[in-house]
Structure 1
Amino acid sequence: MDVLEHYRALFRNSETVLRDMIDANGTEALVSSHNYLLDFDVLKMAIAERPEAAVFESAVKEYQFALFALVSGQYRHAFGGLRLFFELMLSTVQFSAHEIDYRMWTKDSKDINWNSLKDAQNGVFSTNFIRAFNPSFSDCGKQYSAIAEAVYRECSEFVHGNAGTHATLPSDIVFQSNAFCSWHDKAATMRMAIIFAFSARYLNYVSKEATDRMEPVITEAIGDLSQVQEIFAKSSGD
């Protein structure tokens, strides 16, 4: 087999993965996760004029690459891409409060650091950070921090090549239902944590038009929070 034929065979295997996913009734999960992109577009419009919007756009690109890896049967890379997406999304929120860090990051003078994002004192889910922008949300930060930490750690197992991931992932390019479903579960969890962090940071600072556009996205994800209900009840009454 020559080199080009080797890679053609890999592409054919990926097509088989997609076909097997459809046969296994995976289309609904794929469509749901793909449609999260519509939610992210709504959130992006709310911060379109802010510097950190560029980080948000990079995050969405990584999400799309992760989805492509997933439907191609590249599960380890799909989880790794999902983790990077999560880091960039939360960094968008963090950079909004630390523009100097954002400027340094764009010049490759500062790295994105997960420990900083989840820091109990100053991270994006910390009481101090949330209270500065939306005090009513501050009591919920610890809950969402725990959720974010758990899903990030689960994706990190694939990035670091933990032994258990070698046992659970297929050695060839084939459809694996458990990995496929797990990816979608993690994507949904990340979406919820991102929407909470985004709401806590920006809801008090966006226009009425942006608030109205964001309402269905936010209420669908975290509408059980009384703080969210109060904000949109007040908005509708203005």
Structure 2
Amino acid sequence: MSQRGVENASSIEKVMLKLHDSCTDHIGQAMRSNEPQINRVLHLEADFAAWIKALELQPEVQQFQSAHRDFGLSFYAAMSGLYRQAFSSLRSFLEVAIGATYLSSHEFKRRQWVSGKLDISWSSITSPEDGLYSSPFLEEFCPEVIGEQNERLTSLKRAYRRCSEYIHGNIPTSQLLPTDLSYKDDITEEWLSVAESSLTAALHCLMVRYYKDLPQSQKATVEGSLEDHFSHLVSVRRLLGLPLDEGVS
């Protein structure tokens, strides 16, 4: 390598190490400022991992594992101050996790998706006529949720939309993003909020699609998380055999 090439390589290395040091500083600030919220998000992430274990024999488990990796990248990016990348990977988590859940009931389309012949259609997944929270879908997989689906669908769509606003450069969100690599507590807090909503939505979708079909031994691995996050819902209390409030039949 020429002397000029050596100098260029050395300069690039210095820049990269400086960026690395900056990201390390951001991680420390994020952890000190948001520990309770981070713990909640990591609790939900661990529960998602438990579902992956329970579904390890399902053909779509590879997509759930891929979604889990996307979430890990999103978390790292958010803690490091790479906010647009954090929201992008979080949306990818939603698309892959919820897409795999929905397409598990459409084997032909699922195979086409995996082989690259079919793209995920978010509008199909969230369709009120035949999407994951449509009454026909719920009637077959989890009729207990009928009557609660509008609230759950709204929460899922809201998380996806917020991620998209950061990715597509909407003016209000673009103005929030720093122009350099710097820590922003308000954006970190918002990512944590959207991440919590995204993981909660993913867990509920997994419950809707799979819970009633799980063997009892595998149900036991996810029931704790369902009770933790959804015991306020009548549908989940019925699924888990928990007592209902007086006046609820």
Q: Distance in 1 between matches of 2:235 and 2:43?
A: 26
Following TM superposition, by how much is the alpha carbon of 1:42 offset from its aligned partner in structure 2, in angstroms?
Answer: 1.4
Residues 44-89 of structure 1: per-residue CA shift (max 9 Å, x gap):
1222111111111110000000001011110111011111101111
Letter in structure 1 aligned against 2:24: E
**1:35 aligned to 2:36?**
no
Residues 18-42 of structure 1: per-residue CA shift (max 9 Å, x gap):
222244x223322332332310121
Give the match for residue 155 of structure 1. 163
Match of 1:105 among 103, 113, 117: 113
Output the TM-score relative to the length of structure 1: 0.93
Q: Distance in 1 between matches of 2:177 and 2:221?
A: 40
Stretches of structure 2 that go unaligned for 5 or more consecutive residues are 1-7, 243-249
Following TM superposition, by how much is the alpha carbon of 1:191 offset from its aligned partner in structure 2, in angstroms?
Answer: 2.0
Letter in structure 2 aligned against 1:164: P
Match of 2:139 among 131, 135, 140: 131
The answer to whether the Cα contact below 8 Å between 1:73 and 1:173 also exists between their aligned partners in 2 is yes
**1:205 aligned to 2:210?**
no
Q: Distance in 2 between matches of 1:166 and 1:41?
A: 32
Match of 1:5 among 1, 8, 14: 14
| RMSD between aligned residues | 1.5
Match of 1:140 among 148, 156, 160: 148
Q: Distance in 2 between matches of 1:142 and 1:10?
A: 44
Helix, strand or coil for the counterpart of 1:191?
helix
Helix, strand or coil for the counterpart of 1:204?
helix
Letter in structure 1 aligned against 2:114: T
Output the TM-score relative to the length of structure 2: 0.89
Q: Distance in 2 between matches of 1:22 and 1:55?
A: 29
The answer to whether the Cα contact below 8 Å between 1:44 and 1:53 also exists between their aligned partners in 2 is yes
Give the match for residue 80 of structure 1. 88
Taking only the aligned residue pairs, the percentage that are identical comes to 23
Give the match for residue 245 of structure 2. none
- Divergent runs of 4+, >3 A: none
Query: Which is higher, the Rg of structure 1 or of structure 2?
Result: 2
Match of 1:67 among 53, 66, 75: 75
**1:188 aligned to 2:187?**
no
**1:214 aligned to 2:222?**
yes
Q: Distance in 2 between matches of 1:107 and 1:209?
A: 32
Q: Distance in 2 between matches of 1:135 and 1:51?
A: 24
Residues 152-191 of structure 1: per-residue CA shift (max 9 Å, x gap):
1111001111111221111111111111111111111112
**1:54 aligned to 2:96?**
no
Q: Distance in 2 between matches of 1:223 and 1:113?
A: 31
Helix, strand or coil for the counterpart of 2:104?
helix
Q: Which one is further off, 36-45 or 47-56?
A: 36-45
The answer to whether the Cα contact below 8 Å between 1:16 and 1:174 also exists between their aligned partners in 2 is no
Stretches of structure 1 that go unaligned for 5 or more consecutive residues are none
Letter in structure 2 aligned against 1:7: M
